[in-house]
Chains A and B, each alone.
Chain A
Amino acid sequence: MLSRVAESMYWLSRNIERAETLARILDVNYNRTMDRSGANQAGTRRIWESVLEICGATVEVDLWDPEKIATNAFEFCTFSTENRTSILSCIRIARANALSVRAELSTEVWETINSLYLFVEAQSPRSIAREGPSSFLRSLRDTSQAFGGVVDATIMHDDEWNFLQVGRFAERAAMTTRIIRAQDVSDQSAHEWQRLLEMCCASEPFAKSQRLTSEPSEVLGFLFLHPSFPRSTRFCVHEVDNALHRLSETPKANFSNEAERMTGRLAAMLDFVQLDEILEEGSTRFATRVGERFDGVGAAIETAYFPRVPVM
């Protein structure tokens, strides 16, 4: 397949995944700030600052009116066009990429993205204010999730699909890790940890997997290391690794390029690291370290599959 197409597939699914995660994070936190835990201004501010950190936004929250932090942060993360990672920006980028590979996408996939785009473009802060953000965020989340299903059911599971998988799971791994990194671990209150789980769509799976106690540290272990929870860092890294190996047809545990080597090494580390070690290092620092490895993987994927200057 064309390198340009591979690159667009990768960014297409990365951006849809990101929009979906953002929608969930905003929904969870919007609900949080409505009840007790967010009632005071300091609490609200802390919550929205962590949201902005997860989004990778660099804004001067100090310049905002303390009364309006929630509204401003919400708008910044949804409809801001300055913010390259707002929901609107993500959907626009995803759709532009889809347009440039439209010949490779199934009609169903294209129509899913196009409807998502038309839906988001039709919204405005005013329409959101009228109906409440939840219905918007939930429709967005549902359609983004449906995208994954339509992709799996209508696109041939070969190179195109593998690049979509790489993008989807690379983004998901990165987001889960960022969400954990932004967590204030000194706050041991139950609803803080509940918020963390909900942002990762892990509340029910976690409850199901814990039979006896639910120590906060267990949450970290679950989100970083669970082998079958589909949003854990470890699970996602394995999916990236699998997709890369399917692309190059290299046997597992071997590598044919730098991207495979780095992903394999990260997967092995997550396979064998112990929760105690993570806690000793500090979850924030561990998450930062893992995040840096992802950046390396991303760069290596670009070099291997969509280089600026092709090799003969």
Chain B
Amino acid sequence: MQSLLEHYARVDYYDEFTDDRGVPRPHYRQLAQTLAGIDWADFQHRVQVVNNVLLQRGVTFTVYADSRGTERILPFDLIPRIVSKDEWSPIKAGIAQRVRALNEFLRDVYGEQRILHDGKIPWQLIYSSRFFNREMIGIVPPHGVYIHVSGVDLIRGRDGTAYVLEDNLRTPSGISYVLENREVLKRSFPQLFEHYSPRPVDDYPRRLRDALRYSAPIGVSDPTIVLLTPGIYNSAYFEHTMLARRMGVELVEGPDLLVRDNVVYMKTTKGLTRVDVIYRRIDDDFLDPLYFRADSTLGVAGLMNAYRAGNVTVANAVGTGVADDKAVYPFVPAMIRYYLREEPILPNVPTYDCTDPLDRSYVLEHLDELVVKNTNQSGGYGMLMGPQSTGSERDKFAKAITDNPREFIAQPIIPLSCHPTVCGESIAPRHLDLRPFVLFGEDVDVPPAALTRVALTEGSLVVNSSQGGGSKDTWILED
């Protein structure tokens, strides 16, 4: 019998599972023992079973680059990632702090703009942001909440420090994998859970629903909530159906809604029903063809008027993107100090601002060591990974940066932490990140439900599902 982990060789990165001497960290000790008692052939068999279950259940995402719109399962790694109580506490406090500050920032930037007047953030940075939405100036959503749902990406560097990489304040996805992964792992591999009691994740939909209900226009006590999806071809469609089903709300597409006299209705078999809260999973640009992209068939004509009239809540609020513009990101620690008068609990990754001449020339000279990101793109698209790039790719980016410095930022490459992961015939270290979700209703709520994305290709630091990433069940231990 060949035992798992027998040949696990840790590499020169922070390893979540083992310490510097190669010994499992205290919160992984039991798991290591359980894994040691499992036969490799049996393990391989379970991997097969799990993949079939996921396909059958249709836990899939759509890959855009593939013209046939192929549905794929997100590769699911059976070895869980464990977050100890001591690791989780600062994360929980840190991301809640950020979301509070970012929400204050949005209220300010679409209101008095004190932070700009006080010179903490440059005017031109905000006004040049593609995600700054002038229509929102003067609109205050119910209870002043803009960021009802966010998914903060955290990574851990070589010394074990956790950094915030991105705040994801628009329509973050991934929670369905958190729920499904737990479900599937419990069913297919119950013995892993011996000696552990990870905090349950399955009340996320209820908490989300509570937050959405609280966000309803003032005076509406029993709001009709809908989830607005772009439809079956969207990469996260599975997630939309799952959340709608578990929250018990209608899943609607743009053409199911219409606006009359600044009120949003949905078209039902018994006529029109008034809608109070729209949890939208489509971007601002597509929300309302009268205000934004006229060619959008995903949205609802007149929605912005209903929103401005205060007759409907849109969650997340329109225009939250300005707060997670990659070029605004470096100012989040300043926002925390400015609005909350607190020191940031979680650090940012150092970031070079390409509009700054000194930073820009540094970036251009060190393209082969940095990661360059386009501020208008996400999901691992429009990115240059310096060390893996070719000369012509670097030339292309150098030209683009010089032409449009506002559209790029650069960061040193953080060597993401590693974790044992099933790779074909063996278990090897692979890089991963962590995306906890933050809800904002009556108060900021951080459910113990986080997505771990893992880069399955050896040496790769890109964990996005569109770029060949997989996921792991993530156990957050009791606090």
A interface, CB within 8 angstroms of B: 1-4, 6, 96, 99-100, 102-104, 107, 110-111, 114-115, 118, 159, 247, 305-306, 310-312
Contacts and interface: CB of A to CB of B under 8 A. Distances in A.
B54 to A, nearest CB: 11
B250 A111 contact: no
A99 B255 contact: no
B292 to A, nearest CB: 23
B57 A310 contact: no
A99 B267 contact: no
Contacts of A159: 269
Contacts of B150: none
A4 B253 contact: yes
A3 B232 contact: no
A4 B231 contact: no
B164 interface: no
B361 to A, nearest CB: 51
B252 A2 contact: yes
Given A96-B232, A100-B232, A111 B56 contact: yes
B357 interface: no
Interface stretch (B195-203, B217-225, B239-247, B406-414): B239-247
Contacts of B268: 1-3
Contacts of A102: 58, 238, 241, 245, 251
Contacts of B240: 103
A305 to B, nearest CB: 5
A305 B269 contact: yes
Contacts of A3: 256, 267-269
A82 to B, nearest CB: 18
Given A6-B269, A247-B269, A310-B271, A103 B256 contact: no
- What is the predominant secondary structure among interface residues of chain A facing chain B? helix
A4 B268 CA distance: 8
A310 B58 contact: no
15 contacts: A1-B269, A2-B256, A2-B268, A2-B269, A6-B269, A102-B245, A102-B251, A111-B58, A114-B58, A115-B56, A159-B269, A247-B269, A306-B269, A310-B258, A310-B271
A306 B268 CA distance: 8
A305 B267 CA distance: 10
B56 A312 contact: no
Interface in B265-314: 266-269, 271-272
B260 interface: yes
Interface in B90-139: none
Given A99-B237, A100-B232, 15 more contacts: A1-B268, A1-B269, A4-B255, A6-B269, A96-B232, A100-B231, A103-B240, A103-B245, A107-B57, A111-B56, A114-B58, A118-B55, A159-B269, A305-B269, A310-B267
Which 3 A-B residue pairings sit nearest by Cβ, starting from the closest? A103-B251, A103-B244, A102-B241
A104 B237 CA distance: 14
Contacts of A6: 269
Contacts of B258: 310
B256 A99 contact: no
Interface residues of B, number: 28
Contacts of B253: 4
Contacts of B56: 111, 114-115, 118
Most buried by B among A99, A100, A103, A114: A103
A312 B242 CA distance: 30
Contact of B272 (A96, A306, A310): A310
B256 A311 contact: no
Contacts of B57: 107, 110-111, 114
Contacts of A99: 58, 232, 237
Contacts of B241: 102-103
B272 A312 contact: yes
A292 B40 CA distance: 64
Interface in B418-468: none
A2 B271 contact: no
A312 B260 contact: yes
Contacts of B227: 103
A188 B449 CA distance: 70
Nearest to A110: B58
Contacts of B266: 2
A269 B253 CA distance: 41
Contacts of A247: 269
Contacts of A2: 250, 252, 256, 266-269
Contacts of A115: 56
Nearest to B243: A103
B244 A4 contact: no
A96 B231 CA distance: 11
B356 to A, nearest CB: 47
Given A111-B56, A114-B56, A311 B271 contact: yes
A169 B230 CA distance: 32
Contacts of A114: 56-58
Contacts of A1: 268-269
Nearest to B227: A103
Contacts of A305: 269
A107 B267 CA distance: 25
B269 A312 contact: no
Nearest to B244: A103
A305 B268 CA distance: 8
A258 B203 CA distance: 45
A34 to B, nearest CB: 35
A221 B266 CA distance: 46
B220 to A, nearest CB: 20
Nearest to A304: B269
B246 to A, nearest CB: 9
Contacts of B238: 102
A312 B55 contact: no
Nearest to A247: B269
A97 B240 CA distance: 16
A138 B58 CA distance: 24
A118 B53 CA distance: 12
A95 B251 CA distance: 17
B249 to A, nearest CB: 8
A126 B362 CA distance: 61
A159 B250 CA distance: 14
A3 B245 CA distance: 18
Interface string B48-82: 00000001111000000000000000000000000
Contacts of B256: 2-4
A311 B272 CA distance: 8
A156 to B, nearest CB: 12
A165 to B, nearest CB: 14
A115 B56 CA distance: 6
> Of B227, B244, B251, B252, which is in contact with the most chain A CB atoms at under 10 Å from its CB?
B251
A301 B469 CA distance: 46
Nearest to A95: B58
B214 to A, nearest CB: 22
A310 B269 CA distance: 9
Interface centre among A2, A4, A100, A306 (most CB of B within 10 A): A2
A100 B252 CA distance: 10
Contacts of A104: 245, 251
A107 B179 CA distance: 15
Contacts of B232: 96, 99-100
